[in-house]
Amino acid sequence: MRVLLINPPAKNYYGELGLNLLPLGLGYLAAVLQREGHSVDAIDLQVQPIPVEDIPFSRYDLVGISSDTPRFNRAVEIGRAARARGVPVVMGGYHPTFLDAEPFEREAADFVIRGEGEYSLLRLVEVLEKGSDLGQVRGLTYRENGTLRRNPPAYLIENLDELPFPARELFPKTGYLSTFDGRPMATLVTSRGCPYDCYFCAATRFAGVRWRTRDLSNVFDELEMLQRQGYSSFLFVDDNFTLSYRRTMDFCSEVFARHWDIRWWCFSRVDVLVKHPDMVRQMALAGASSVFLGLESGNQATLDHYQKKITVEQQREAVRLLKRHGIRVYGSFIIGEMHETPKMIRQTIRFARRLKPETCQFSLLTPYPGSRLFQQLDSLKQLITKNWDLYDGAHLVFKNPNISAKELQRLLRQAYLKFYLRASNIPAVVIEFLKDPVEFREIVRQIKAGVDIFRRLKTA
């Protein structure tokens, strides 16, 4: 079967500070289909801005669209265009998984795959080719005689090593996140699932509460392949790359054993880093150059409402620890929690400035479908809108009893301006100009990017 997979575009308020990543999920879907002999093409509209009317839908037997919430209205537009040309459409990803009736209500899809989609999509393609019973496809939602049918959920993939490596060759070589000195960066995922359940996050409900990992030998096979293709910098997009102390230490030991000169980025929780300072040291020696931390707030009460299960002091210590070993810190903060006051938000802004992560991203609390936050607000009729375009981290979409939408957006703009134009940045710029021209350019780039975000948010 000839299949076209599409990643819809999304607004990017964060410019160069945003993480524009190759859509690995589509890469895995494509690789599984290719392994079974199917013909697959892919279009990432985030980096390939093709008008929808110019997409050659008619060349294909099936169009697959993966979408999170901010992209969903674009996904609907694409799905309708494909169906108008007589090509069936299957949707998947976070938004269709948790609101699986909506693609049908908006006449944008013929099928929805809920949750992990590799084997469900393969089974759907096989069933469509043979004209078999759609009821055989686990995780599938579809219409039958005007009635919405939901098959039993798909099984989570226990052995991630059995999956082929993502079909990266289907995507452009440029346009994605690169290192601060301009080198291309390959994106990998080595685990799925999250044992934590932060109140605003849907990851646990999508990929399960149990942490499933690839064997490190499988991970290093992929890293070897990518190095042969010219990559020396890597971003691990696991929700919690460092969750296992032993696995992280083994990863570092294998890098040492192979004498690799690589640079890599990952996501981590602060409590894991603070618990294992020796692990942070090994990470730095093994080439870790940046770590992304979900800091969220400088106020303990807000962290507790988010159910992060971390403390403000752990955040301080994690940032100090990473900086001590020369690892850059990318911190993200969420403001606008229902119990927050303007004073508490300003406290978080001051906290971010004092922490001095190299890069900082601020966004408004957004109740994404699938999260417990969304379920609560939806059931209490507290959502102001379900225009998914506004679920972008820059707009207030629920009734906040303490702060108006106008005030929140003002505080959001203020956060960027105060962080990126803080006085302590000035000596850093001068020092790096004298010491390291590359690092100097990176600091200047980040200051400019932060100011650009402020300007874009003024028109949000």
Q: Which is higher by pLDDT, 14 or 272?
A: 272
Judged against a pLDDT cut of 90, whether residue 458 lies above it is answered with: no
Give residue for tokens 């798909």. 154
- What value does the mean pLDDT of the chain take? 92
- What is the distance between the alpha carbons of residues 269 and 241, in angstroms, rounded to a whole number? 9
Determine, yes or no, domain membership for 319. yes
Determine, yes or no, domain membership for 273. yes
282 plus 430 within the same structural domain: yes
Q: What is the pLDDT of residues 274-325, one digit of tens each?
A: 999 999 999 999 999 999 999 999 999 999 999 999 999 999 999 999 999 9
Over residues 246-269, mean pLDDT? 98
Q: Which amino acid is at 458?
A: K
186 plus 48 within the same structural domain: no
Q: Are 329 and 359 in contact (CB under 8 A)?
A: yes
Q: Which domain holds residue 280?
A: 177-458
Q: What is the pLDDT of residues 395-445, one digit of tens each?
A: 999 999 999 999 999 999 999 989 988 645 555 544 444 455 555 455 555
| Torsion sign over Cα 362, 365, 367, 371 | positive
Percentage of the chain modeled with pLDDT above 90: 85
Q: What is the pLDDT of residues 109-148, one digit of tens each?
A: 999 999 999 999 999 999 999 999 999 999 999 999 999 9
107 plus 215 within the same structural domain: no
Q: What is the pLDDT of residues 120-129, one digit of tens each?
A: 999 999 999 9
Over residues 243-261, mean pLDDT? 98
CB neighbours of 278 closer than 8 A, spacing ≥ 6? none
194 plus 235 within the same structural domain: yes
Determine, yes or no, domain membership for 72. yes
- Position 36 scores a pLDDT of 98
Judged against a pLDDT cut of 60, whether residue 266 lies above it is answered with: yes
Burial 416-438 (b: 16+ CB within 10 A, else e): bbbbbebeebeebeeebeeeeee
Domain boundary among 147, 168, 201: 147
Burial 361-387 (b: 16+ CB within 10 A, else e): bbbbbbbbbbbbbbeebeeeeeeeeee
131 plus 70 within the same structural domain: yes
CATH number at residue 123: 3.40.50.280
242 plus 119 within the same structural domain: no
Determine, yes or no, domain membership for 158. no
7-11, 65-69, 150-154, 318-322: segment of lowest average pLDDT: 7-11
Over residues 342-355, mean pLDDT? 97
Burial 204-224 (b: 16+ CB within 10 A, else e): bbbbbeebebbeeebbbebbe
3-class secondary structure for the chain?
CEEEEEECCCCCCCHHHCCCCCCHHHHHHHHHHHHCCCEEEEEECCCCCCCHHHCCHHHCCEEEEECCCCCHHHHHHHHHHHHHCCCCEEEECHHHHHCCCHHHHCCCCCEEECCCCHHHHHHHHHHHHHCCCHHHCCCEEEEECCEEEECCCCCCCCCHHHCCCCCHHHCCCCCCCECCCCCECEEECCEECCCCCCCCCCHHHHHCCCCEECCHHHHHHHHHHHHHCCCCEEEECCCCCCCCHHHHHHHHHHHHHCCCCCEEEEEECHHHHHHCHHHHHHHHHCCEEEEEEEEECCCHHHHHHHCCCCCHHHHHHHHHHHHHCCCEEEEEEEECCCCCCHHHHHHHHHHHHHHCCCEEEEEECCCCCCCHHHHHHHHCCCECCCCHHHCCCCCCCECCCCCCHHHHHHHHHHHHHHHHCCCCHHHHHHHHHHHCHHHHHHHHHHHHHHHHHHHHHHCC
Over residues 337-361, mean pLDDT? 95
- Position 436 scores a pLDDT of 52
Determine, yes or no, domain membership for 282. yes
Domain boundary among 131, 147, 163: 147
- Confidence band of 20 (pLDDT split at 50, 70, 90): confident
Determine, yes or no, domain membership for 155. no
Determine, yes or no, domain membership for 25. yes
Over residues 349-366, mean pLDDT? 95
- What is the distance between the alpha carbons of residues 399 and 114, in angstroms, rounded to a whole number? 29
95 plus 193 within the same structural domain: no
- Position 429 scores a pLDDT of 45
CATH number at residue 199: 3.80.30.20
- What is the distance between the alpha carbons of residues 278 and 244, in angstroms, rounded to a whole number? 13
- Confidence band of 181 (pLDDT split at 50, 70, 90): low
- What is the distance between the alpha carbons of residues 115 and 140, in angstroms, rounded to a whole number? 9
* End-to-end alpha carbon distance in the chain: 42
198 plus 143 within the same structural domain: no
Judged against a pLDDT cut of 90, whether residue 183 lies above it is answered with: no
- What is the distance between the alpha carbons of residues 444 and 369, in angstroms, rounded to a whole number? 37
- Position 173 scores a pLDDT of 86
- What is the distance between the alpha carbons of residues 198 and 408, in angstroms, rounded to a whole number? 22
> Residue 376 half-sphere exposure, CB side, CA atoms within 13 Å?
11
Domain boundary among 129, 147, 165: 147
Over residues 85-101, mean pLDDT? 99
Number of domains the chain is built from: 2
Tell if the pTM clears 0.85, that is, is over it.
yes
Determine, yes or no, domain membership for 160. no
279 plus 426 within the same structural domain: yes
CB neighbours of 186 closer than 8 A, spacing ≥ 6? 168, 226, 229, 231, 233, 234, 235
299 plus 382 within the same structural domain: yes
367 plus 223 within the same structural domain: yes
Over residues 200-227, mean pLDDT? 97
44 plus 191 within the same structural domain: no
